[in-house]
Chain A
């Protein structure tokens, strides 16, 4: 088996193609532990492998699903879990965060899962602590576990991803999910097209080797996956596009539009979704939507990451 080279998971960029596949293969085994399906009859949805290890979940930014997903992943592996939600304060300085983490280490943490509104905080911490650091989202920079669960979900449906076409739509500019997906999908040989208003999809992104398209309908031709990003209504209005209605008309995913993609094109969304803004309810709840599977797969992928990092401790 391949050992991860780093004891931290900070970005997708730092993983090799083979390391990504190792994580995805391990996650498939992990999914058997808790997924209720017909071919598996398991009664206890938990394994003892991380008994005696301590996982600290340290969130400086509000989140429910990612936090709960990590918590559940750690618990299904029998680790002890401590969750800390620290309300973000604009006056917070690097040093106070480092002190917080040192305090946690003094309580014998093995893995620290960090989310912070500022890009680079997980990397800063990784340089000062003995524990493994997992980036659970930092600013607009990276969200590697979300990207990995997206790849896992695509792979379950499409098999080999090389040569497939993935269209990512919405606020690319502020999206750490999009950034991590772009870097990872390229390592897997996937063709990526970014779609959205020019204010949210700057031309500069083409330097990453992706296609940029401002016409959503045209971008959908031949798409295997369409990934919708959340529009943060409160933050966006007025500044980046004229109105919610206008955004929905040009960049919202509805049934008619989805019909322009491949017939079995997967509909993905990292959640939480804004129904009627970036995606219509009949598409979000429709047969091509894998949004709920993404949530399930997130637990499996995070179990795999905790397992592979713990094996290096």
Chain B
């Protein structure tokens, strides 16, 4: 693992290389196939980086006879739980888009990093407003611990241990030009 100074002055540490990400996604894809079996799953990614990840997992699961061509995108901006806290900017509203009926389907919900669990709580509520799926399974590339709600992932690419103040950034070639996961370590009470 490389260690160097981050752009913002904190210590940056790589925790997943591009090659490792490809391997990890392959493993997650076959795990999803094992669980879903004959019942083809539908993929819904959480904006923004859950979306390209859901496409990649879908392509891995597609290989073979069944082709997954439709993907859902979930914007949780209107379902967050911190609106009553006051202060801070509210998120940009980009809108969800789920082009298929989720009722009775197995849904693989995809996000890049699982942390407090609050995003997933919001995503589940948003998803339920589209219909009643048969089952929802959660796939995340990185589980960094630090849960504040009783939520766990069904498929995890990699579990890492980081400080509460640290920032985990997943970079994807679709949006960032390259694959990889880095953490920015902040010292206690200090800046990133």
Contacts and interface: CB of A to CB of B under 8 A. Distances in A.
Interface in A5-63: 25-26, 28-33, 38-44, 46-52
Given A42-B130, A43-B129, A29 B95 contact: yes
Contacts of A51: 83
A87 to B, nearest CB: 36
B6 interface: no
A30 B128 CA distance: 17
Contacts of B78: 33, 47-49, 77, 307
A85 interface: no
Interface stretch (B11-19, B99-107, B136-144, B150-158): B99-107
Given A304-B93, A311-B89, A41 B79 contact: no
A155 interface: no
B79 A49 contact: yes
Nearest to A308: B90
B131 A43 contact: yes
A77 B90 CA distance: 14
A239 to B, nearest CB: 46
A22 to B, nearest CB: 9
Contacts of B95: 28-33
A308 B89 CA distance: 10
A132 to B, nearest CB: 14
Interface in A194-215: none
A157 interface: no
Chain B interface: which size bin? 20 to 34
A65 interface: no
Interface string A277-304: 0000000000000000000000000001
Given A48-B125, A49-B79, A307 B97 contact: no
A32 B96 contact: yes
A33 B74 CA distance: 12
B94 A29 contact: yes
Interface residues of A, number: 31
A190 B38 CA distance: 56
A107 interface: no
B111 interface: no
B92 interface: yes
B189 interface: no
B75 interface: yes
A3 interface: yes
Given A40-B99, A41-B102, A311-B89, A47 B79 contact: yes
Contacts of B130: 41-44
B98 A42 contact: yes
A166 B183 CA distance: 51
Contacts of B100: 41
Interface string B80-122: 1001101001111111111111110000000000000000000
Interface string B133-176: 00000000000000000000000000000000000000000000
Interface of B: 75, 77-80, 83-84, 86, 89-103, 125-126, 128-131
Given A29-B77, A41-B100, A41-B131, 12 more contacts: A1-B90, A26-B93, A29-B75, A29-B95, A30-B93, A32-B97, A33-B78, A39-B97, A42-B96, A43-B129, A307-B78, A307-B90
27 contacts: A1-B89, A1-B90, A29-B92, A30-B93, A30-B95, A32-B95, A32-B97, A38-B99, A39-B97, A42-B98, A42-B129, A42-B130, A43-B130, A44-B129, A47-B78, A47-B79, A47-B129, A48-B79, A48-B125, A49-B78, A49-B79, A49-B80, A49-B83, A50-B83, A307-B93, A308-B90, A310-B90
